């Protein structure tokens, strides 16, 4: 009874403290009446809880204690269920920390954080770095990441048995602090049956907070990933089907030769940097011709109607593209591409980005001194015969630099931006360049006139990335202002603004059919947007760091994204799921590109390598095999190390010759 008394008095004190006047009144009434004991007295467990609660009300150490107990219990649990239970630890950890901060126990919060951060360093290092800076309640309010975490619940898939185990443990140990955190911030999705496999825990990696449900909902939307109707490829296939095989190859040979000579005479060897290259290209074509007939992968893709009015292509351009398509080398795991590499020298750490035109003849570099420089590789091949060796560069270039005005430059200088140029992109025909810079503008330049044509203002912060659509005319930009925008060349206002990312939009890429745009962000998600409606139609969650590069497969079905840690993920657009992560790079993946028929993926990284990945094997895997969970289905075919040159950009020409560009950096 004495115990009862104590409980009663505590409850009364608690209610009073919390300001529950009516409840207090009621309790007093009840106590006064002494008629019937309140049911919680009958429930010894609950009483114990409350008792426990009263004792440790102000005891911040119980967080640390409770968490360390939970942690050691989890690590000691059965192997089969361990990984599921381990997932619970991270949200509990960060929320405990934030609770402590919110309650003002900063010192304890810091000790707690430092004590256990190592556990999560591997998976969540970047989140931890952010959270580390949270040192007061106001920071919690201010920091978007923390706020979204606090406001939302984490979904964790867990099997019935693991769930039971966890509850049992929490009850047994009476660690109310942990129970409170778990109840408040974790939403268990209990599934019956076997525990899920380790590889499927993509969602738990990124705690994007707010929109887990929203993301799921968004990913339900239908998307049409097929290729455009009446595309050039399709036309080519039709035309090819009419001709008999022998005629076809014969025709190709002739036309190819004519084309080669025509190109050489008309464009002055624009196709390659030198005639040597032209020849090589031709030789490759010859070898690949025999292998072409089975390359009908694209024909299976469904066709969709364009939602944008597409620009009309001049017939002669169309002809030359068709010619290129006909002479395309068929690449596969056994037929790897040739890679021509453009190395920037003497950039003095000033090169921010580079871009290669679709035929590889033009290379653009955006510099931090606000300049954009364009090299015509066809001309370079003529004059730079003497300075091909790296040792000779000093003498050769000192002749070059007679003076900024008088000396003959090997490039065309485009001046106009007033801040570091962060991105440049060539139009599909190579006649325009777009560049985006820290001065919040995007500028359109003509490579024919060597002049600035338009300055597009609309973003409020630096524009990180700009990309021409596959048909030209339209382009998309991504900015620090957390929006991506769609523009057309003839309007100075954006056509669409895509808002939704929780942090900077770092990269943008068009879908092959121009109806969608993908954006990668510092919030570690990739989103797919409908260009017509401006709606987000997919959210891809799985990366553990900032997304740096995106690539869309030519058949429109898959997307690859590369992040800061060197992970590349292949996504199925229709399901919104990651097919498999591609591990191999050890540093930032700056660039990704699919080969023209989609059989290979090339990635360029800050670790000074170009890697070629076999994509066909991965994407053709039947459903059931996918379930069984072999995490390394995508094969790394080849690693091509450069000589201390981080790879900034890669581009497959229409004939499937791979062009790469990077800066020779001596202090790597």
Partner 1 sequence: MSNVPKEAIEVVAQSIGITNLSPDVALALAPDVEYRVREIMQEAIKCMRHSRRTVLTADDVDSALNLRNVEPIYGFTSRDPLRFKRAAGHKDLFYIDDKDVEFKEVIEAPLPRAPLDTLVTSHWLAIEGVQPAIPENASVEAPSDGKKADYKEDGLSADVKLPVKHVLSRELQLYFDKIVELTVNRSVSDVFKQALLSLAIDSGLHPLVPYFTYFIADEVARNLNNFPLMFALMRVARSLLKNEHIHIEPYLHQLMPSIITCLVAKRLGNKFTDNHWGLRNFTAKLVASICKRFGHVYHNLQPRVTRTLLHAFLDPTKTLPQHFGAIRGLAALGPSVVRLLILPNLEVYLQLLEPEMLPVKQKNEIKRHEAWCVYGALLRAAGLCMYDRLKMFPGLLGPPTRPVWKSSRKVVTTNKRKASTDNLMQQPPVKKIASDSAIGMMPINSMQVDMQGAVGGFSTTIGGSNIGASSISRQRTNDNISGREVGGRVLRTSTVLAQAWKEDTDAGNLLASLFELFGESMLSFTPKPELSFFL
Q: Does 20 bind partner 1 (CB under 8 A)?
A: no
- Contacting partner 1 (CB under 8 A), which of 63, 81, 344, 516? 344
Please report how close the Cβ of residue 438 comes to partner 1 at its closest, in angstroms: 6
C-beta of residue 372 within 8 angstroms of C-beta of residue 667: no
Q: Does 386 bind partner 1 (CB under 8 A)?
A: no
b/e 15-52 (16+ beta carbons within 10 angstroms → b): beeeeeeeebeebeeeeeeeeeeeeeeeeeeebebbbe
Please report how close the Cβ of residue 163 comes to partner 1 at its closest, in angstroms: 37
Q: Does 110 bind partner 1 (CB under 8 A)?
A: yes
Q: Which of these ranges, 3-11, 38-46, 367-375, 510-518, lies near partner 1 under the rule CB under 8 A?
A: 367-375
Please report how close the Cβ of residue 145 comes to partner 1 at its closest, in angstroms: 10
C-beta of residue 144 within 8 angstroms of C-beta of residue 502: yes
Task: Kindly state the tokens that stand for 230.
Answer: 């009446």
- List residues bridging with 36 in a β-sheet: none
611 backbone φψ class: left, alpha, beta (φ>0; ψ -120 to 50): beta
Per-residue binding string, partner 1, 524-563, x by CB under 8 A, is: ----------------------x-x---------------
C-beta of residue 336 within 8 angstroms of C-beta of residue 638: yes
How many C-beta atoms lie closer than 10 Å to residue 639's C-beta?
12
C-beta of residue 49 within 8 angstroms of C-beta of residue 174: yes
Q: How far apart are CA 555 and CA 225, in angstroms?
A: 8
Please report how close the Cβ of residue 399 comes to partner 1 at its closest, in angstroms: 10
Q: Does 640 bind partner 1 (CB under 8 A)?
A: yes
Q: Report the relative pairing of strands 568-572 and 577-582 from DSSP bridges.
A: antiparallel
DSSP string of 452-520? EEEEEE--SS-EEEEEE-TTSSEEEEEETTSEEEEEETT-SS-SEEEE--SS-EEEEEE-TTSSEEEEE
Q: Does 382 bind partner 1 (CB under 8 A)?
A: no
State CA 142 to chain mean position distance: 26
Please report how close the Cβ of residue 356 comes to partner 1 at its closest, in angstroms: 11
Q: Does 398 bind partner 1 (CB under 8 A)?
A: yes
Q: Which is nearer to partner 1, 575 or 644 (CB)?
A: 644
Per-residue binding string, partner 1, 302-341, x by CB under 8 A, is: ---------------------------------xxxxxxx
Q: Which is nearer to partner 1, 514 or 637 (CB)?
A: 637
Please report how close the Cβ of residue 390 comes to partner 1 at its closest, in angstroms: 7
How many C-beta atoms lie closer than 10 Å to residue 590's C-beta?
22
Q: Which of these ranges, 195-203, 224-232, 399-407, 573-581, lies near partner 1 under the rule CB under 8 A?
A: 399-407
Q: Which of residues 183-242 bind partner 1 (CB under 8 A)?
A: none
**Residue showing tokens 């939403």:** 187
Q: Which is nearer to partner 1, 365 or 576 (CB)?
A: 365
Q: Does 598 bind partner 1 (CB under 8 A)?
A: no
Per-residue binding string, partner 1, 608-627, x by CB under 8 A, is: x-x-x---------------
Q: How far apart are CA 359 and CA 628, in angstroms?
A: 42
**Residue showing tokens 């760091």:** 545
- CA 301 to each of CA 229, 298, 590, 649: distance values in angstroms, whole numbers, following the listed order: 10, 6, 29, 28
Q: Does 51 bind partner 1 (CB under 8 A)?
A: no
- CA 280 to each of CA 274, 378, 653: distance values in angstroms, whole numbers, following the listed order: 10, 15, 14
- Contacting partner 1 (CB under 8 A), which of 249, 412, 587, 617? 587
- Contacting partner 1 (CB under 8 A), which of 380, 508, 514, 589? 380
Q: Does 385 bind partner 1 (CB under 8 A)?
A: no
Task: Kindly state the tokens that stand for 46.
Answer: 């609950």
Q: Which is nearer to partner 1, 170 or 634 (CB)?
A: 634
Q: Does 48 bind partner 1 (CB under 8 A)?
A: no
Q: Which of 189, 193, 167, 187 is nearest to 179 (CA)?
A: 167
Number of residues that bind partner 1 (CB under 8 A): 93
Q: Which of residues 264-283 bind partner 1 (CB under 8 A)?
A: 273, 280
- List residues bridging with 576 in a β-sheet: none
Q: Which is nearer to partner 1, 181 or 363 (CB)?
A: 363
**Residue showing tokens 């990441």:** 145
Q: Does 50 bind partner 1 (CB under 8 A)?
A: no
Q: How far apart are CA 616 and CA 633, in angstroms?
A: 10
Q: Which of 593, 585, 565 is nearest to 640 (CA)?
A: 585
Q: Which of these ranges, 446-454, 482-490, 512-520, 583-591, lies near partner 1 under the rule CB under 8 A?
A: 583-591
C-beta of residue 424 within 8 angstroms of C-beta of residue 355: yes
Q: Does 648 bind partner 1 (CB under 8 A)?
A: yes
Q: Does 103 bind partner 1 (CB under 8 A)?
A: no
Q: Which of residues 137-156 bind partner 1 (CB under 8 A)?
A: 139
Task: Kindly state the tokens that stand for 478.
Answer: 């991504």
Q: Which of these ranges, 38-46, 159-167, 168-176, 400-408, lies near partner 1 under the rule CB under 8 A?
A: 400-408
Q: How far apart are CA 119 and CA 501, in angstroms?
A: 29
- Contacting partner 1 (CB under 8 A), which of 100, 606, 615, 634? 606
Beta strands in 524-563 (DSSP E): 525-530, 536-541, 547-552, 558-563
Per-residue binding string, partner 1, 420-459, x by CB under 8 A, is: x-x---------------x---------------------
Please report how close the Cβ of residue 135 comes to partner 1 at its closest, in angstroms: 3
- Contacting partner 1 (CB under 8 A), which of 136, 199, 217, 382? 136
Instruction: Kindly compute the dihedral angle of the four CA atoms of residues 182, 183, 186, 190, in this order, to the nearest 10 degrees.
Output: 110
Please report how close the Cβ of residue 404 comes to partner 1 at its closest, in angstroms: 9
Q: Which of these ranges, 28-36, 89-97, 550-558, 586-594, lies near partner 1 under the rule CB under 8 A?
A: 586-594
Per-residue binding string, partner 1, 62-91, x by CB under 8 A, is: ------------------------------
Task: Kindly state the tokens that stand for 417.
Answer: 């931006």
Three-state SS for 169-189 is HHHHHCCHHHHHHHHHHEEEE
Q: Does 383 bind partner 1 (CB under 8 A)?
A: no
C-beta of residue 532 within 8 angstroms of C-beta of residue 539: no
Q: Does 253 bind partner 1 (CB under 8 A)?
A: no
């Amino acid at each position: 009874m004495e115990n009862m008394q104590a409980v009663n008095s505590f409850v009364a004190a608690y209610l009073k403290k919390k300001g529950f006047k009516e409840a207090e009144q009621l309790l007093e009434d009840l106590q006064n009446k002494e008629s019937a004991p309140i049911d919680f007295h009958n429930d010894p467990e609950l009483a114990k809880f409350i008792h426990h609660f009263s004792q440790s009300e102000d005891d911040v150490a119980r967080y640390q204690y409770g968490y360390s107990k939970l942690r050691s219990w989890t690590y000691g649990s059965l192997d089969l269920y361990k990984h599921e239970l381990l997932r619970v630890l991270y949200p509990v950890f960060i929320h405990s920390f934030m609770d402590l901060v919110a309650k003002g126990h900063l010192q304890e919060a810091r000790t707690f954080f430092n004590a256990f951060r190592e556990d999560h360093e591997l998976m969540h290092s970047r989140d931890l770095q952010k959270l580390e800076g949270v040192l007061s309640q106001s920071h919690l309010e201010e920091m978007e990441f923390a706020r979204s975490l606090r406001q939302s619940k984490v979904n964790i898939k867990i099997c019935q048995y693991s769930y039971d185990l966890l509850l049992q443990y929490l009850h047994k140990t009476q660690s109310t602090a942990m129970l409170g955190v778990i109840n408040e911030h974790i939403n268990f999705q209990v599934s019956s049956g076997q525990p899920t496999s380790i590889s499927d825990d993509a969602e738990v990696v990124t705690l994007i907070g707010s929109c887990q449900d929203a993301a799921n909902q968004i990913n339900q939307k239908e998307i049409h990933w097929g290729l455009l109707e009446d595309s050039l490829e399709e036309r080519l296939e039709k035309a090819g089907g009419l001709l008999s095989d022998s005629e076809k190859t014969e025709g190709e040979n002739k036309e190819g030769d004519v084309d080669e000579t025509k190109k050489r005479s008309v464009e002055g060897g624009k196709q390659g940097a030198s005639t040597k290259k032209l020849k090589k290209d031709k030789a490759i074509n010859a070898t690949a011709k025999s292998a072409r007939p089975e390359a009908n992968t694209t024909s299976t893709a469904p066709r969709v109607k364009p939602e944008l009015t597409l620009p009309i292509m001049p017939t002669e351009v169309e002809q030359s593209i068709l010619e290129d398509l006909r002479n395309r080398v068929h690449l596969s795991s056994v037929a790897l591409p040739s890679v021509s590499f453009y190395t920037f020298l003497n950039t003095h750490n000033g090169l921010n980005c580079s871009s290669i035109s679709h035929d590889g003849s033009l290379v653009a570099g955006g510099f931090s001194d606000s300049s954009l420089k364009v090299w015509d590789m066809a001309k370079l091949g003529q004059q730079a015969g003497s300075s091909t060796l790296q040792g000779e560069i000093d003498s050769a270039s000192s002749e070059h630099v007679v003076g900024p005005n008088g000396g003959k430059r090997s490039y065309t200088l485009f001046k106009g931006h007033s801040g570091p140029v962060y991105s440049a992109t060539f139009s599909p025909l190579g006649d325009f360049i777009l560049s985006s810079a820290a001065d919040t503008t995007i500028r359109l330049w003509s490579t024919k006139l060597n002049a600035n044509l338009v300055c597009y203002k609309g973003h409020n912060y630096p524009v990180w990335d700009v990309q021409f659509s596959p048909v030209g005319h339209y382009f998309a930009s991504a900015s620090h202002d957390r929006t991506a925008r769609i523009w057309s060349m003839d309007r100075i206002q954006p056509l669409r603004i895509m808002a939704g990312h929780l942090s900077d939009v770092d990269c943008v890429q068009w879908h092959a059919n121009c109806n969608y745009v993908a954006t990668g962000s510092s919030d570690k998600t990739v989103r797919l947007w409908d260009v017509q409606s401006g709606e987000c139609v997919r959210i891809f969650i799985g990366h553990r760091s900032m997304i740096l590069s995106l690539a869309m497969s030519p058949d429109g079905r898959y997307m690859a994204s590369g992040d800061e840690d060197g992970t590349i993920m292949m996504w199925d657009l229709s399901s919104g799921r990651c097919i498999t992560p591609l591990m191999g790079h050890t540093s930032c993946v700056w660039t990704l590109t699919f080969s023209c028929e989609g059989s290979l993926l090339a990635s360029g990284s800050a670790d000074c390598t170009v890697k070629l990945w076999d994509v066909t094997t991965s994407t053709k895997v039947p459903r059931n095999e996918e379930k069984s969970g072999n995490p390394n289905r995508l094969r790394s075919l080849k690693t091509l190390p450069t000589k201390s040159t981080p790879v900034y950009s890669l581009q497959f020409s229409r004939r499937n010759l791979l062009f790469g560009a990077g800066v020779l950096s001596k202090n790597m």
